[in-house]
A and B are shown apart, each in its own frame.
Chain A
């Protein structure tokens, strides 16, 4: 009996000593593949049996936690991260094509600063087909086509679809009409975002959009000054300080995303932050 107790005690101590080591090795092993495995949609569907909705929940929570962690740690996402996210969202929306969150999340992360417009739009198109009662997805798709891809006609088409869906705000009809006029890109984008803010009810997201609207309004301000400069002098301003020096603007506004506004080669106003919460690293992650 005493012998057994001694052996037990020795084993418990050994276990307690080994535990942190095992834990460390395990967390290293986990970090190496922390994004988690993605299986082909059909295989996941087969394995999920009757638990498809809850599998979609799990996969979405895993992806949003991974990216949420990146955003709070202010880490840049790699192109492999983004590809992983997209593949995940495809699987999730195959399991439950009516699930709103993956479309919404995918659109938010794959566009600004990341530039995976084709993927974001493919995802949104899937959502537009499935969620026939939802005006927001065609609205986002229309915005992407207009703003990122300079496809005004394609954008207008989806804004019209959005306008016909239940609960759609009334500004969509006029927006679709404005899209057919070329130019005025930033003005239209400002109108878009004002509409988004009016219809958004989540306070956190409202703050997010207000920040983007603020940035766009500043760009619009600089653009108008730049156009005025060109009209007066007949050439593009070299940089923003020229505008300030010659009195076209009182000061160079600060980018709410922490970047710096600058004049691009084609004369358009851009910002180094790309107005994104998540930005992609310049070089892809090494395998």
Chain B
């Protein structure tokens, strides 16, 4: 807990969790759903802040402050350096999500006790599956940071690039859906269509990992879906880390 950023984000998350039960009073029946929605959003958002603020400083700060020379003069390869940083960040993500995830379930549990709605479909199994997916999404964002840190020299630029990719990744599915709907009177040029298709392929589809709607209503997803998004995750983070390592290997430090 040496990092002040981490401390601040945790305090923010804990405050948000403690407000959740009060906020559910604004709703009528689906109380558990609202509590679960607020809890998962807090968890996901504070996790994202944590990854962005800590992750972008991991490599870029080494380059910025030239402490990277200490590392590259040691008998470890640059690939090991990038992979090591990534694994460290992943461990932090797992610990933080585990901690916040357990705390996030408290307001959900309390809300379930205060108002017993027989029509609520909430299930703890799906809730925790959604939390695991949040951790996976954060690790994917961490791999993006590693990649962008390798190609840029300042932490600010890698932060901007990661945030931009995150936004594109979170919206691309809806944007593509817009194109597929084919509204009357709206013509989408073939070029635009191809561009969206290309963006859809290149950028990470973060909506895959967003199981909040399923989690708050207890709608279980097939094992096949969960398996294939794990495969997607494995390839995407793999490409980002390998790509980042490759660039680092070839990069010249002034």
Asked if A pairs with B, the answer is yes
Residues of chain A whose beta carbon lies under 8 Å from any beta carbon of chain B: 42, 45-46, 49-54, 56-57, 60-61, 64-65, 96, 98-101, 104-105, 131, 133-136, 167, 201-202
- Shortest CB distance B35–A (Å): 10
Residues of A within 8 A of B198 (CB): none
10 A/B residue pairs, CB under 8 Å, sorted by A: A42-B178, A50-B206, A50-B207, A54-B38, A56-B37, A60-B27, A101-B30, A104-B28, A105-B28, A167-B119
Query: Which residues of B lie under 8 Å from residue A50 when comparing CB positions?
Result: 44, 170, 206-207, 210, 212
B64 CB–A CB distance under 8 Å: no
B26 engages A61 (CB within 8 Å): yes
A70 CA to B138 CA, complexed, in Å? 43
Q: Is the interface of B mostly helix, strand, loop or mixed?
A: helix
Taken together as a complex, chains A and B put the C-alpha atoms of A272 and B157 apart, in Å, by 67
Could you tell me how many residues of chain B have their Cβ less than 8 Å away from some Cβ of chain A?
A: 34
B78 contacts partner chain A, Cβ-Cβ < 8 Å: no
B133 to A: closest C-beta gap in Å: 11
A95 (CB) vs chain B CBs: closest residue: B213
CB interface residues, B 75-129, toward A, < 8 Å:
116-121
Q: Which residues of B contact A57 (CB under 8 A)?
A: 27, 34, 37-38
Give B201 Cβ to nearest chain A Cβ, in Å.
Answer: 19
- Docked Cα-Cα span, A56 to B167, in Å, equals 19
> Considering the chains assembled together, what is the distance between the CA atoms of A42 and B37 in angstroms?
20
**B26 touches which one: A49, A65, A104 (CB < 8 A)?**
A65
Question: How far apart are the CA atoms of A45 and B116 in the complex, in Å?
Answer: 30
B171 and A100 contacting across the interface, CB-CB below 8 Å: no
Alpha-carbon distance between A155 and B27 when the two chains are bound, in angstroms = 29
In chain B, positions 162-211 with a C-beta closer than 8 Å to chain A are 167, 170-171, 174-175, 178, 206-207, 210
Which residues of the partner chain A approach B29 to less than 8 Å between Cβ atoms? 100-101, 104, 202
| Chain A residue with Cβ nearest B118 | A167
Q: Which of B34, B210, B219 has the most CB of A within 10 A?
A: B34
Contacts of B117 in A (CB 8 A): 100
B33 touches A100 (CB 8 A): yes
Q: Does B144 reach chain A (CB closer than 8 Å)?
A: no
Q: Smallest distance from the beta carbon of B153 to chain A beta carbons, Å?
A: 29
Question: For A65, what are the chain B residues with a Cβ–Cβ distance below 8 Å?
Answer: 26
- Taking a contact as CB atoms under 8 Å apart, the answer to whether A133 and B119 are in contact is yes
Beta-carbon nearest neighbor of A51 in chain B: B41
Chain A residues, Cβ within 8 Å of B34:
57, 101
Please name the residue on chain B nearest to A165 by beta carbon.
B119
Contact A98/B121 with A49-B170, A50-B206, A57-B38 known, Cβ cut-off 8 Å:
yes
A136/B119 in contact, CB under 8 A? yes
Please name all residues of chain A whose beta carbon is closer than 8 Å to the beta carbon of B23 when the two chains form the complex.
61
Consensus secondary structure, chain A interface: helix
The residue among A53, A104, A133 with the most chain B CB atoms within 10 A of its own CB is: A53
Residues in A with CB closer than 8 Å to B26 are 61, 64-65
B216 at the A interface (CB under 8 A): yes
User: Within the assembled complex, what's the spacing in Å between the Cα atoms of A90 and B56?
Assistant: 40
Whether B40 sits at the interface, judged by CB under 8 Å, is: yes
Bound state CA distance, A61 and B24, in angstroms?
9
Measured CA separation A60–B33 after assembly (Å): 13
Across the A-B interface, the 7 shortest Cβ-Cβ residue pairs: A49-B170, A53-B37, A100-B30, A54-B41, A98-B217, A61-B26, A50-B210
| B178 closest partner in A (C-beta) | A42
Which residues of chain A come closer than 8 Å to B217, judged between CB atoms? 98
**CA distance in complex: A131, B116 (Å):** 18
**With the chains together, A3 CA to B215 CA distance in Å?**
61
Q: How far is the CB of A41 from chain B (nearest CB, A)?
A: 10
A53 B212 Cβ-Cβ under 8 A:
yes
Which B residues are CB-close (under 8 A) to A135? 119
Please measure, in the bound complex, the distance between the C-alpha atom of A238 and the C-alpha atom of B207, giving whole angstroms. 65
- Is A45's CB under 8 angstroms from B174's CB? yes
Query: Inside 8 A of A56's CB, which chain B residues have their CB?
Result: 37
Mask, B25-66, CB within 8 Å of A = 1, is 011111001100110110011000000000000000000000
B213 partner, pick from A49, A53, A100, A101, beta carbons under 8 A: A53
Task: Quote the shortest CB–CB distance from A107 to chain B (angstroms).
Answer: 12
* Cα of A64 to Cα of B27 in the assembled complex, Å: 8
Q: B167 contacts A49, CB within 8 Å?
A: yes
Shortest distance between the CB of A145 and any CB in chain B (Å): 21
Chain A proximity of B217: nearest CB distance (Å): 4
Known A54-B37, A99-B33; contact A133-B213, beta-carbon cutoff 8 A: no
Specify which of B30, B121, B178, B207 is in contact with A133 (CB 8 Å cutoff): B121
Does B41 lie within 8 Å of A201, measured CB to CB? no
B219 proximity list for chain A (CB < 8 A): 98
